[in-house]
Amino acid sequence: MRIDIITVLPEMLQGPLNCSIIQRARNKGLVEIEVHNLRDYSTDLKHRRVDDEAFGFSKGMVLQIEPIDRVITHLKSQRKYDEVIYTSPDGEMLNQKMANQMSLYENIIILCGHYKGIDHRIREHLITREISIGDYVLTGGELAAAVIADSVIRLLPGAIHDEQSAFNDCFQDNLLAAPVYTRPADYKGWKVPEILLSGNQRKIDEWELEQAEKRTRELRPDLLQNH
């Protein structure tokens, strides 16, 4: 898989994309991530400006259409992309089903929003999917791009040591995960449920499903509508 991220703040992505599971996946050659500084495609060679004032009476700056078209056109001349994603607060909410779907893609472009957003013509003609990570506003789309990348990359075969573990995570079956415990089995009188110490796999599986359904019913009843 290859992920190309377009941003005006490439330094914001250095940490998230260079540690833990993402770094291991990159080292194994499972994913190639390229971060593109939008300013490198500016028509203003001196100031490398990529934003301008909005038409009308809207306040704030808007990312211009030409530098974004330039970088996307350049990338598309090299390979075919499954999606050109724009990180937007009014996009569809990221969920596990979407991450599962995107983990099967070969090439993805993620355009990070910034300022008051991007020229709307980009959304009309160049973007194929808009994704939000929550109903709140961030300084830019860089953190959202990192979240999208992380949710997808960890699903790639070989990205984590126990591949089956990824498919037992929260939300894979529209349920929250059951409680988990580790040693010691008794700490200050706080004990691990006896069923988990029994060695009876069938009983443990039944308990975990019961607990997952119970926690989901209490904490996220909305998820049960699709379970």
**pLDDT tens digits for range 13-70:** 999 999 999 999 999 999 999 999 999 999 998 999 999 999 987 788 999 999 999 9
At 39, list the tokens.
């300013």
Query: Tell me, what's the pLDDT at 165?
Result: 58
At 15, list the tokens.
């940490």
At 169, list the tokens.
């995570």
The secondary element (H helix, E strand) that includes residue 95 is none
Question: Which stretches does DSSP call E strand in the chain?
Answer: 2-7, 32-37, 51-53, 61-63, 83-93, 107-112, 129-132, 186-187, 190-191
**pLDDT tens digits for range 110-156:** 999 998 899 999 999 999 999 999 999 899 999 999 999 999 999 99
What's the pLDDT band for 225 if we cut at 50, 70, 90? confident
Asked whether 118 and 111 are in contact (CB, 8 A), the reply is yes
Residue that the structure tokens 């355009």 belong to:
111
Per DSSP, 223 falls in state G
Query: Tell me, what's the pLDDT at 57?
Result: 79
Task: Say yes or no to pLDDT of 97 above 60.
Answer: yes
Architecture of domain 170-226: Orthogonal Bundle (1.10)
Estimate the crossing angle of helix 142-153 against helix 20-27, to 10 degrees. Answer: 60
Q: Start-end ranges of CATH 1.10.1270.20 in the chain?
A: 170-226
Asked whether 8 and 115 are in contact (CB, 8 A), the reply is no
Q: Read off the pTM.
A: 0.89
What's the pLDDT band for 173 if we cut at 50, 70, 90? confident
The domain 2-153 is placed in CATH, from the list 3.40.1280.10, 3.30.1330.20, 3.10.20.30, 3.40.47.10, at 3.40.1280.10
Q: Start-end ranges of CATH 3.40.1280.10 in the chain?
A: 2-153
Smallest Cα–Cα separation from 96: which of 170, 20, 6? 170
